[in-house]
Amino acid sequence: MSWPPSFEQTTVGVALLGAGVALIRERGKPDLVDLISKLLAASAIPTSMYLLASAFNPAWVQKLSDVGLYLAAAGLALLYVSLKELFA
């Protein structure tokens, strides 16, 4: 295993950590839809932090061509959370 972890490893790790926290907070009886939404939201954290950092260092924006799948997952998480809050 190399250090620092790759963007993919970081995204999966944070998603699993978010799902683990959700399981602990729900006392082992989570709703599957809520668990998936929390997993998606947690997986968007590394992408969002990268995008925020890219605002201060424009050279990093050029490296975004390799993270299309992660940008799509972050967009999906944002869309789901927004719609859920809007219609809940």
pLDDT at 4 over 70: no
pTM over 0.75: no
Contacts 24+ apart (CB under 8 A), 72-78: 73/11, 73/40, 73/43, 73/44, 73/47, 74/43, 74/44, 74/47, 74/48, 76/40, 77/37, 77/40, 77/41, 77/43, 77/44, 78/44
Residues 18-45, mean pLDDT to the nearest whole number: 80
Per-residue confidence at 1, pLDDT binned at 50, 70, 90? low
pLDDT in tens, 37-72: 788 778 778 877 877 787 888 787 777 777 677 777
